[in-house]
Amino acid sequence: MNPLTAQSAHLNTPKAIALLSGGLDSALAAALVKSWGIEVIGLHLTSPFGCETHAEKVAKELNISLITQAKGEAFIDLVSAPTYGYGSQMNPCVDCRIYMFQIAEKIMNEQKADFIVTGEVVGQRPLSQNKANIQLIERKSPLERLVVRPLSGGNLPPTLAEEKGWILRSCLLKISGRGRTEQLALAKQLGISAFSSPGGGCLLTETAFSDRLKDFFSHPTYANSEEKESQAQMLRLGRHFRIHSHLKVIVARTDSENAELLSHWEQSGAQLIEPVNYRGPIAVSLGTPCKEDKTTVAKLLSKYGRKNDEGPFLTRFKSHSSTLQPQEDELISTTEKLAESIIENWRIGIT
Ligand code: SF4
């Protein structure tokens, strides 16, 4: 049967929560289920590490409402020690899917929905989308038999939605593997174009980001949840330098990174480092720099700065005050710049 012509098969109007990443597969899955006459609400879970997402655009294009919820601090802890291990980088896909399904189940109950929809394709991701792990994830989450996978459900055991007659098995596709040809053809047929490109995926699958994450977990510099979440958000920003075990510096690369670091530094427990008499980016430092460290960091920042005269570079260090007592800014004057080879040794994860 044509997967787009199944409406007449439904006896009532069930409601589904569709996990929307902003990518092609989840957009197609939601669109198909909607085309079957089922009410669909999108659910987008945001990463504590930050990610570009097209979920809002997709929901708008599909004309469905969208619930956005943060994965939150608990997800950072999950990534640091996943039960089922990592994929090729720091991507704990099995644990991540179980975690997302747990949140989806809560939303499903709150919204009085009947089942969950995902864009999973058997064999697309080696860790979380092989048949055995798809079933393991379902068993370990509270959603056993409640997850409908329109793109590959024809290859999987029947779900409750089929048993209840809300969805016909003949409408479920049997896409498998890593290719995108069938999905792109279906997107054309359904008039879907707002999804993000396959390359714009999860940061946890990227080598450079994973290097930063390993460094973050092995050198914790946060005193509370707010600092931890804020530092996690800064992992994708700027150039990162591990100067020694208790000092990391992040130097902005663009105006927008300057602005983002400025918005995070206080909540993250960092120090803010700014050029005073030269043009250049700002930086933040995490850890406990001594006077000598500050001179090193000032030299590092001035390496990225420009000024017209020959005089020393003046750099300001600003600390966040956790008490009502204002902290004095500190000015450091430097004349020499650091050698490139020293800087390269400190670098973590070039993105
Ligand atoms: S790729 Fe990223 S978001 Fe997707 S399941 Fe794996 S860890 Fe989670």
- Taking alpha carbons only, the member of 119, 132, 171, 151 closest to residue 8 is 171
* pLDDT mean across residues, the chain: 91
Q: What order of strands is seen across the sheet that includes strand 115-117?
A: 65-70, 39-46, 15-19, 115-117, 147-148
Q: Is the CB of 205 under 6 A from ligand 1?
A: yes
Contacts 24+ apart (CB under 8 A), 129-136: 131/155, 131/156, 133/84, 133/94, 136/84, 136/94
Cα 202 to ligand 1 centroid, rounded to whole Å: 6
**Mean pLDDT for the stretch of residues 43-59:** 91
- At 350 the pLDDT is 78
For ligand 1, what atom is nearest to the CA of residue 202? Answer: 2
Read off the pTM: 0.89
Asked if pLDDT for residue 148 goes beyond 90, the answer is yes
Asked if pLDDT for residue 331 goes beyond 60, the answer is yes
Confidence of residue 124 (pLDDT cuts 50, 70, 90): confident
**Mean pLDDT for the stretch of residues 19-24:** 94
- At 9 the pLDDT is 45
Confidence of residue 327 (pLDDT cuts 50, 70, 90): low
Structure tokens given for 106: 């809560």
Confidence of residue 30 (pLDDT cuts 50, 70, 90): very high
- At 197 the pLDDT is 73
Q: Is the CB of 204 under 6 A from ligand 1?
A: yes
DSSP 331-344: EEEE-----HHHHH
The Cα-based distances of 351 to 46, 203, 236, 238, 253 in angstroms read 21, 11, 8, 8, 11
**Mean pLDDT for the stretch of residues 105-131:** 88
- At 7 the pLDDT is 47
**Mean pLDDT for the stretch of residues 293-305:** 95
Are the CB atoms for 48 and 234 separated by under 8 Å? no
Q: Whose CA is nearest to atom 5 of ligand 1?
A: 93
Say which residue, 238 or 178, is predicted with more confidence.
Answer: 238
Asked if pLDDT for residue 229 goes beyond 70, the answer is yes
Asked if pLDDT for residue 294 goes beyond 90, the answer is yes
Choose which residue among 204, 206, 209, 236 to substitute to test ligand 1 binding: the one with the highest number of ligand atoms within 8 A of its C-beta: 204
Report d(CA 211, CA 228) in Å as an integer. 17
Of the chain, the percentage scoring pLDDT greater than 70 comes to 92
Say which residue, 202 or 31, is predicted with more confidence.
Answer: 31
For ligand 1, what atom is nearest to the CA of residue 100? Answer: 8
Asked if pLDDT for residue 17 goes beyond 90, the answer is yes
Asked if pLDDT for residue 3 goes beyond 70, the answer is no
Structure tokens given for 263: 């918005």
Q: What order of strands is seen across the sheet that includes strand 347-348?
A: 330-334, 313-319, 271-275, 283-287, 247-251, 239-244, 347-348
Report d(CA 329, CA 247) in Å as an integer. 19
Asked if pLDDT for residue 265 goes beyond 60, the answer is yes
Q: Which residues pair with 115 in a beta bridge?
A: 16
Choose which residue among 46, 83, 91, 98 to substitute to test ligand 1 binding: the one with the highest number of ligand atoms within 8 A of its C-beta: 91
For ligand 1, what atom is nearest to the CA of residue 93? Answer: 6
Cα 300 to ligand 1 centroid, rounded to whole Å: 35
306: left (phi over 0), alpha (psi -120 to 50) or beta: beta
For ligand 1, what atom is nearest to the CA of residue 96? Answer: 8
Cα 27 to ligand 1 centroid, rounded to whole Å: 16
